[in-house]
A and B are shown apart, each in its own frame.
Chain A
Amino acid sequence: MTIDSGAQAIHSDEYADLGAVAQAVAKGMLLGARGNSGVILSRIFSGIARGLQGSRTCDLKTLCHAFELGVDEAYRAVSVPVEGTILTVYKDAVRYAAEKLSGSSSAQSYFYDFTQELKRSLDRTPELLAVLKESGVVDSGGAGFIYIAEGMRRAVEGEAFEGEEEPQAAQKAVDVSLFTEDSVLDFGYCTEFLLRLQRAKTDIDSFDFPAFIDYLNSVGESVVAFRDGSIVKAHVHTMHPGQVLEYCQNYGEFLTLKIENMTLQHNESEVENRFSAPAPKPHKRYGIVSVAAGDGIKTTFYSLGVDWVIEGGQSMNPSAEDFVRAFREINADTILVFPNNGNVILTAKQAAELYDKAEIRIIPTKTVGEGYAAISMLDTSSGDTEQIIAEQREIIESVVTGAVSKASRNATMNGVNVVLGDYISFVGDDVYADEKTANAAAVALADKLGAGDYDIMLILCGRDTADGQRQALEAELKQRFRRTEVILIDGGQPIYDYIIVFE
């Protein structure tokens, strides 16, 4: 999906040079990135794009250098780089292919070396990351990258692609009959451009980007803009694109420019952003964005005061763009974001960097339980963001989130003999019990965690658990742990029969 969003970002073949194409792909990927590997992948391409900037063509040396910048950028994207992931796999291959570079190298030989080393490095990932070894698997992000690199190699070899889909935007012809001699312009123009700030026109270092965004907002809507060095990428829906262009030319010149009458646009999501302006949302000091899967959990979050719940969770990672869209929906000075999944935190951070109409603060909740615990005790009345975040972090630390799910394979984990088809209960990567029923697994988990020492056991029931089964669990837990409050909620989440929050 991350790669797709890069491909979709190439709207025409009229880019000034190779650098601009790489830039467009990278930006598309930054916005579309999903999951940790997705974010890292988008940063790799953003590094590569930086290396190709201004290049019309590129030789192997430039490519090597660009790929190396991809390594830098990717490592910088994560605060604590973990070896044995896509990071290592990509780095190893870049370094290996660079070493093999000689006077007789060709693009073909370069990509051959590159992909070969990718595969070897991937096989080494379990040696670097214990969790992979214990589970008997290799890193999935790294494995995914091999497909991408294979694609590059085959393109260089001149191989045709089977079943290839053209990016939608390029595929469809414009239906000009949608805007006639008598039509009224009510959707305006979707205006997108890459602007190169020019030294002759402005002091690039002190260019006031927030003011630039304010201007775009004053003449249009749905503004998405970000800046990368002297390049500004912006998207705005405006009735007067001419004004926008005039304004931009005060600071630089366009690298790319696309203006489309939105009445003709085929992309329905674009038309949804119509100019018949939605009622302005009341301004708040704090807005809240949370991520969750399952109707019940979403409803719970909304009832706790969350402004926008992004659909997502385990194996359904939302994209940075999903976050940006949520941010746009909220009229608040500061937006507190609860990713509720370790694999989504990075995406949320990336989205935060791409958005500047509000202060975005990420509360790094790794589970839906942490998110629930934090949001339910959120008290923004002090107005002191640092204090609020400190309190929230403290709450997160006091929560244990366990889950019950069906085992998808046989394994020995954390000393527990896991049998395919049994129900296992676990906290993070630590398996606590393997039982024949979901309820037994839940009770075993509660026993092992000493549930009696907690004040509250909040149980989010998955969509596949029956009423009777839920009630039986509630009764058993209440009977075993008399002092602990047992609260059941219809979470409706997939995958997990129960998510149990111990507080």
Chain B
Amino acid sequence: MLVLFTDTDTDVTPEIAAKYGYRLISMPYSIDGKTVYPYVDFDKFDSHAYYDMLRSGVIPNTSALNKENYITYFEPVFAEGNDILYVHFSRAMSATFESMDQAVRELQEKYPERKFYEIDTKGISIISLNMLQEIGDMYLAGKTAEELVEWGRREADHFAVYFFADDLRFFRHSGRVSGIAGTMGTLLGIRPIIYMNEEGKMVSIGKEKGRQKAMDRLINYVVELGDNVKGHRVIIANSDTDEIVNELKNMLIEKFGKDLDIQIVDVNPTAGAHCGPNATGICFHSIHR
């Protein structure tokens, strides 16, 4: 049997995970030295409270899991004679996968019969969420691990995410976005536009002044780059930006019609440590990223 895994950096909630049977690997963040494991240390993510705390000046840190953590997650599955398909966030964004590789190597020596499949969504937050849900649907429809891996390899470049934020302190602290010019220390209504490239890295590709222009630009990307947009979910992620989310949703409906499958989610707290509050992004099926 194949057991699905994903991690909490994908914005997946326990409810969504349960729908497809994903087991959740909790990716930790820490504040003032206290480490928090999402959906282990709490059941429900209070997005508003968390991002308000960040607004007040708290900048959380995130840390990689160690080999033992992965062994704890994976070994029982192998021990029961099952295989693993792990749909995870971008390898290019974290050192955690080195620990995972060590753990997998060790376990495969111990369980040579068992198979470990992985799909690198080359994204974080909603690219991953969009893909893992489609993978989940196909899995439930009976696709094999090989077929799913092949789909993942083919499709990862066709889920694009574009987002903007309004506080660069978090990006600067995280160091995970390239191309954010030194010319943007104080944001003052300026919003860097960031996307996730084919390598699974966040890259800034410009900036817009004001909320409206930034939203217009996101919608333009969906229109320009969209490929069979209505055949897939369009997911809007936000770090506590209800107003913007609603406007984007309306703008999308206006462009694509009421039957567009729009899903709205909170940016998970670990990814949120990197983008900060007031970030909003759209993931859609695209010609390219």
Which residues of A does B touch, CB under 8 Å?
300, 302-305, 372-373, 375-381, 455-456, 458, 485, 487, 489, 503
Contact = CB atoms under 8 A, between A and B. Distances in A.
A305 B182 contact: yes
A385 to B, nearest CB: 16
A305 B210 contact: no
Interface in B193-232: 206-207, 209-213
Nearest to A489: B188
Contacts of A378: 183
Given A305-B181, A305-B182, A305-B183, A455 B211 contact: yes
A68 B190 CA distance: 51
Contacts of B212: 455
Interface of B: 179, 181-186, 188-190, 206-207, 209-213
Residue of B181, B183, B210, B211 ringed by the most chain A CB atoms within 10 A: B183
Given A376-B190, A485-B189, A455 B183 contact: no
Contacts of A485: 189, 210-211
Contact of A455 (B179, B181, B184, B209): B209
B184 A304 contact: yes
B183 A487 contact: no
28 contacts: A300-B186, A302-B185, A304-B185, A304-B186, A305-B182, A305-B183, A305-B184, A372-B188, A373-B209, A376-B209, A377-B209, A379-B206, A379-B207, A380-B183, A381-B179, A381-B181, A455-B189, A455-B209, A455-B210, A455-B212, A456-B189, A456-B209, A456-B210, A458-B188, A485-B211, A489-B188, A503-B189, A503-B210
A188 to B, nearest CB: 34
B153 to A, nearest CB: 31
A372 B188 CA distance: 10
Contacts of A487: 188-189
Contacts of B183: 304-305, 375-376, 378, 380
A377 B183 CA distance: 9
A302 B213 CA distance: 25
B262 to A, nearest CB: 23
A489 B185 CA distance: 14
A432 B206 CA distance: 36
Contacts of A305: 181-185
A303 B181 CA distance: 11
B182 A376 contact: no
Nearest to A301: B186
Given A303-B185, A456-B210, 16 more contacts: A302-B185, A304-B184, A304-B185, A304-B186, A305-B182, A379-B181, A379-B206, A379-B207, A380-B181, A455-B189, A455-B209, A455-B213, A458-B188, A485-B189, A485-B210, A485-B211
A377 B207 contact: yes
Looking at A305, A373, A380, the one whose CB has the most chain B CB atoms below 10 A away is A305
Contacts of B181: 305, 379-381
Contacts of B179: 381
B263 to A, nearest CB: 26
A305 B211 CA distance: 22
B186 A503 contact: no
A309 to B, nearest CB: 14
Nearest to A379: B206
Nearest to B212: A455
Interface centre among B181, B184, B186, B210 (most CB of A within 10 A): B186
Contacts of B184: 304-305, 376
A503 to B, nearest CB: 6
In order of increasing CB-CB distance, the 5 nearest A-B pairs are: A455-B210, A305-B183, A303-B185, A303-B186, A456-B189
A380 to B, nearest CB: 8
B188 A300 contact: yes
Contacts of B210: 455-456, 485, 503
A381 B203 CA distance: 13
A376 B186 CA distance: 9
B111 to A, nearest CB: 50
Contacts of B186: 300, 303-304
B62 to A, nearest CB: 26
Contact of A377 (B182, B185, B190, B211): B190
Contacts of A380: 181, 183
A503 B207 contact: no
B12 to A, nearest CB: 33
A397 to B, nearest CB: 14
A378 B185 CA distance: 13
A173 to B, nearest CB: 48
A404 to B, nearest CB: 19
Nearest to B213: A455
Contacts of B185: 302-305
A458 B207 CA distance: 17
A59 B209 CA distance: 62
Contacts of B209: 373, 376-377, 455-456, 503
A395 B179 CA distance: 22
Nearest to A306: B183
A108 B210 CA distance: 65
A296 to B, nearest CB: 11
A376 B210 CA distance: 12
Nearest to B208: A377
B236 to A, nearest CB: 20
Contacts of A458: 188-189
A168 B206 CA distance: 52
Contacts of A303: 185-186
A43 B243 CA distance: 57
Nearest to B211: A485
A470 B190 CA distance: 22
A304 B186 CA distance: 6
A302 B182 CA distance: 10
Nearest to B210: A455
Contacts of B207: 377, 379
B85 to A, nearest CB: 40
Nearest to B205: A381
A288 to B, nearest CB: 8
Nearest to A288: B183
Nearest to A486: B189
Contacts of A489: 188
Contacts of A373: 209
A283 B184 CA distance: 19
